[in-house]
Chains A and B, each alone.
Chain A
Amino acid sequence: MDQSLLPNIYDFISKTYPFSQLSPLEMDAVATAVKISYHQPGDILDDADLAGAGLYLVRTGACEELTKPDGKLRARMGVGDTFGYTQIDKQGRSDYKVRFLENSLIYFINRNVLKLIFEKNKAVGSYFSSNDRVRLHSSQAAATARREASGAGRTVFEAATRHIPLMQEDDTIQEVAAALRDTHSEMAVIARGDQPEGVITKTDISNRAVACGLPATAKASEIMSRGVISIEGSEPVERALELMVMNNIECLPVTDHGRFTGVITPTRMLRDSRLESVYLLRDVTNVDSIKALPLLSHRVKGIFTGMLAAGMPPHDVQRMMSRIADVFYEKIISLNIKQAGTPPCRFAWFAAGSLARCEVQFLSDQDNGIILEKDPGKEGMEYFARLSDAVCHDLDSCGYPLCDGNYMASNPKWRVTLEQWERNYSSWIADTTQNAILNSMVFLDIRHLHGDAELTSALKRHLSEEVNANSRFLATLCTISTTVAPPLGTFRQFVLTKDGKNEPYFNIKKQAVNLIVELARLYGLAARSQETDTYARLKAARAAGVLRDEDYRDLAEAYTFINSVRFTHQLNSIKSGAKLTNNLPPSELSQFERNHLRDAFRIISRQQQAANVKFASGRGIL
């Protein structure tokens, strides 16, 4: 059937991920196989409707998946969401049932058609594979995580540019030239459908068209270079370089599962925000006056956005931002000590919270403290008071805002002797009331910054020993860490918080990122690990046998994806000059992000339940 006759379904399918990735022919096959049904609130789909049936796509309305037999919410679905795929190879009984919440129009595609399509289009098929982790993994955004795990270099995707005109074979030379002008590109890719067939450079237009007297209306196919060598985006950058050298070309079309998505050039490959940050680190290290630092700190924003725009993995971005923060801290502390004179006793300056975890974002506020070797007397105390006031103030003027909770060395409570710190920790850990722990949570993550590293290590050892000597503590920490549930009923406004302007939003930090950070802390402490980085904690827990490999991979994958969504949106707000926030209005999330976030939330929810079973007993790890 002609596509124009079924505008609605084609329109809808072509805009709904992952169907949007199908070729026109495949989309045709899917569209004509659709069956439409209508459901009212309270209607249930169960067993035979789902097991061995096919894929359901919500056209309008809303419904939810409920686990069996307890009827717990598994996921909530709205327009463009799909369900049923994981059940297509089951028989008789389904793993969950679906209940409708609103009047809903549902598109249904039966399993035989799906199998046929997915046999042809593996990329779309793999998206629907039954495991949420696999799905997150198969998403392009998580390609970075994969690379991180394998330790390989950047992929072509990360270095490629997508801003290049894609023209068709029968477009005219004039149209190609206009597209080159409008996109400031050196070359255009000429395709048949989505398949790159050739390329035209600006030089080609001059040499092969104008110089040969071809009319401007001649077809692009007449002057394009054929037999184009292209590269899959998932390949390492090195492979692209190799192809360029071997074939003496300077521009390679990049494909995603055979479909054109952009090009990669040597300049693109060399542009690396890591270099810019290396320069900044060098400049900060060379500075000998505090006055020069705020000016240098202005470059941090550009580096942050550069790293995000270059598609650097979220974790690498945070590590680099933390490294930069470390250098600013070090410089500010040592310059202030130079002014204040020799300290009256040995001491250690440590970072707490996100800097301790090496998870600094742009504009993360400061959390830190001082451990004194011994009581330096009244005068000595005044020395540290002056020093810490100056340091915290200077940090503030370098883009590390003062902490709202006053968790800073400038607060006399957090500028005490090792002995006092140890007593603090002992009492927080022995108290096990939720308030005591909540107030000290930020100090459960500490990392040495300046001074006598042995003091920080001693305190960390003390923390670890106390935690493991007091099994009730982990139980309480677990309760606190799993209080906030991920927003499983994603993006239907009734489950979202409202901000002052009464717009529903989802706080990606509080409702997602923190949940995994807290689980990782819990497992890290249980594994007696001194690590503070979230991934490192999870790894340590796996190594210690506290966390199964399976669970480790689930959490790491979910964490990477959630952070990538968070960063993408922060990058967008920076670009549009909006205020940087962790509040995402659901309307700003793409279908792709929503689908994958739901997978990530499901993982978190599962892991929270598992942690509750493990720790709630108060006997530590069973």
Chain B
Amino acid sequence: MGIAALFNPYERLLARIKRSAQSPDLPSELRPFYERPMPSGRTSVWNVPFTSIDFETTGLDFKNDIVISLGGVGFDGPSIDYETAFHTLLRVDGSKINAQSAIVNMITPEQLCSGEDPHEAMLKLMDKLSGGLVLTHCSAIEYHFLKKTLGLGDSLELPMAFADTMQLERAITGYHEGVDVRLSSIRQRRGLPSYEAHNACADSIATAEVFLAQSRELFRKRPPSVSEIFRRSH
């Protein structure tokens, strides 16, 4: 790694992924995902695998809470491709669902008991995401829950680059304190239609739409590069 790359967050991410791939702690079932090449930082985000995702969880405590559903949608160039939209309910041990999260997420305990095995679901998700750019709103949630469900320790990096509409919004608004960066507020400011919140798939689409708007505001007509988006997302 050259000196300049030390100051480039995306190059540092690539280095961490490379180290993780060689780590003896990496579960063997995940190795194939690390063999996929990551895009170079200079590539346009419209020319790399790019997926917007959203997790619904029982709470924000990474240790004790769990993911109950996940959804996402892919980009096809600078547009969102509905055909790639997906949504999965995860199987949950009944005792872990508290009444409140069921209300917020509008998912009943019965639905969750018949959901997909979380580990299996995350492996399938890894297949969609690894080697590409992943969009979320507030990426810490998806990042940590994904790592936890897959059993990746703190020292290991996920083989993908996270973009974050919440951080991008902070960049656009000049990192002022007190700017409301909730997804619904960001959408409202841009006159984007209001979404029925708390459905993982709909939220991932809402996030993707926001990204389309933000990238135009930040870069006008020029397609942003992967490292430009990554830097403003962290």
Chain A residues proximal to chain B, CB less than 8 Å: 1-2, 4-9, 12, 31-38, 40, 59-61, 102-103, 105, 108
Contact = CB atoms under 8 A, between A and B. Distances in A.
16 contacts: A1-B86, A5-B199, A5-B202, A6-B85, A6-B202, A7-B202, A8-B196, A9-B82, A12-B193, A32-B82, A36-B208, A36-B212, A60-B191, A103-B190, A103-B191, A105-B212
B94 to A, nearest CB: 23
A32 B83 contact: yes
A534 to B, nearest CB: 42
A5 B193 CA distance: 16
A3 to B, nearest CB: 11
Given A38-B209, A103-B190, A8 B202 contact: yes
B105 to A, nearest CB: 13
B87 A35 contact: no
> Quick one: which of A31, A35, A37 has the most chain B CB within 10 A?
A35
Contact of A8 (B78, B83, B195, B213): B195
Interface in B81-111: 81-83, 85-87
B131 to A, nearest CB: 23
B118 interface: no
Contact of B87 (A2, A8, A108): A2
B209 A36 contact: yes
A9 B193 CA distance: 10
Contacts of A5: 71, 85, 87, 199, 201-202
Nearest to B76: A35
Given A38-B78, A38-B213, A38-B216, 9 more contacts: A5-B202, A6-B85, A7-B196, A31-B82, A35-B76, A35-B80, A59-B193, A102-B191, A108-B79
B17 interface: no
B192 A105 contact: yes
Contacts of A31: 82
B205 A6 contact: yes
A8 B80 contact: no
B199 A4 contact: yes
Interface of B: 71, 76, 78-83, 85-87, 190-193, 195-196, 199, 201-202, 205, 208-209, 212-213, 216
Contact of B201 (A1, A33, A37, A61): A1
A40 B216 CA distance: 8
A489 B83 CA distance: 33
B209 A105 contact: yes
Nearest to A104: B191
A474 B40 CA distance: 71
A58 to B, nearest CB: 11
A146 B199 CA distance: 48
Contacts of B193: 8, 12, 59-60, 105
> Quick one: which of A12, A31, A34 has the most chain B CB within 10 A?
A34
Contacts of A35: 76, 79-82
B87 A1 contact: yes
Nearest to A79: B193
A61 B191 contact: yes
A492 to B, nearest CB: 14
Contact of A37 (B71, B79, B87): B79
> Quick one: which of A59, A105, A108 has the most chain B CB within 10 A?
A105
A4 B107 CA distance: 12
Contacts of B85: 1, 5-6, 32
Given A8-B202, A103-B213, A36 B82 contact: yes
Contacts of A7: 195-196, 199, 202
Contacts of B208: 36
For the complex of A and B, 5 pairs with smallest distance between CB atoms: A38-B212, A36-B80, A37-B79, A34-B82, A5-B201
Contacts of B191: 60-61, 102-103
Nearest to B196: A7
Contacts of B83: 32-33
A493 B23 CA distance: 63
Contacts of B205: 6, 8, 36
